[in-house]
Structure 1
């Protein structure tokens, strides 16, 4: 009887040992995972500077990740507005323009009197500027870029971003003027002189600094001449028709 009990005890141990080993292994992995977890940073300045280091090294995905984590760890820090702006910058330099615009706009709403507001608006303009299409394509983004640069120039003329915003304004205006000119020239080549004239005459009104006056002036004169000739021919046709109706 005693031998049988010992045998049963040994069999029980054989079954228990794998179970105990599994439990110990699981506990070991859990404790390792717990120790492996990174504690949140306790120094906002150091965390911000680390994000800036990554941004300056052009590691934009990692800098974006660092600034997102900063926002989570230090939502009330004095560095948080700048971290929000640098997150937008990380996306901008990584050519994620649509996402960057959303974050710059969010910065404007959250911090309407922050000293970096001119920069945020300028950067929204740059996001649109970087997406401008050739003059034969839709120019919606060019118009949006022009709007943002104009806002900086008119509302923050003393800002350090105003001079470049003014330069970008002129580039946008020239691009839009070239777009209008290409449409006008197409109408001109198709003998639609009135439509062409309308486009050519609008360019100096809409974009006075585009510098296309010398190019447009002879075409405006040519359109007017062609229109006058068409009107004369039309009048002559009408007179002939009127004579036919009267008879001999």
Structure 2
């Protein structure tokens, strides 16, 4: 009986000590804070570049005070914090969530812009600058998503203060995506897949008009149709090439020489 009581007493003391030790460690300093207080602290963390801390505070704000202007703003600020922390997937997801929950919010145009910006930097940012890889050789998935986000922004909010920058980035992305399609078309051509090469070059011209890569896409179409022996389509493509790029070296050489096609490009 005495031993049992001693064991029980020791167990109680150990539990008490464990509780005391953990109480300080697990204590949430934000307990009892108002929505405004949490938001202010989160904004302060963002000003200090403490993005992870800011994200956690915004999450607590949404959890404790899910309704009201602070919760709505927290969702948008959280997306920006993810963006600054280079967590593209989370940033895009947060933007999509905000747009779905608050389609009429005064700042919803910023959500579209931020989504486009996150994908823009994901595909065309630091990694590309640190390598010698041709940007047009990279997977354009993020670039397409960025273009579509900016396109939605400009279409839905033409007077937004973010629209001019979005338009400028769309021009860049349009050229980038066109160059990528031409790169793929050249890959097909060099392997003798002439139909695939012609189709991909034509796709580039239709989807990304006025891009610098259009000239090369037309050249690819001329060469591919010639290799296939489809002279009417070859001549049509050559006619379009000469009309739109009258000073192109390629069109000039085609008219002035009988050299084989592969020596002219």
Scaled by the length of structure 1, the TM-score of the pair is: 0.72
Residues 142, 176 of structure 1: 8 Å contact kept: yes
- In the alignment, is residue 147 of structure 1 matched against residue 139 of structure 2? no
Deviations 1:88-134 (A, max 9, x none): 22222212222222222111121111011111122222232233274
1:74 is aligned, of 40, 45, 65, to: 65
**1:6 corresponds to:** none
Change in Cα spacing, 1:41 to 1:190, as seen in structure 2 (3 Å) is: same
Deviations 1:185-207 (A, max 9, x none): 22333444443333333322210
CA distance in 1, matches of 2:65, 2:122: 33
CA distance in 2, matches of 1:203, 1:41: 58
Change in Cα spacing, 1:31 to 1:222, as seen in structure 2 (3 Å) is: closer
Scaled by the length of structure 2, the TM-score of the pair is: 0.68
Residues 101, 127 of structure 1: 8 Å contact kept: yes
1:83 is aligned, of 74, 83, 94, to: 74
Q: Which runs of 5+ in 2 are unaligned?
A: 125-134, 233-265
Computing the radius of gyration over CA atoms, which structure comes out larger, 1 or 2? 1
Which stretch of structure 1 is more off in the superposition, 100-109 or 41-50? 41-50
Q: How many residues were matched structurally?
A: 220
CA distance in 1, matches of 2:180, 2:202: 14
Q: Which runs of 5+ in 1 are unaligned?
A: 1-12, 232-248
CA distance in 2, matches of 1:201, 1:148: 25
**2:86 corresponds to:** 95
Q: What is the CA RMSD across the aligned residues, in angstroms?
A: 3.3
- In the alignment, is residue 120 of structure 1 matched against residue 111 of structure 2? yes
CA distance in 1, matches of 2:60, 2:230: 71
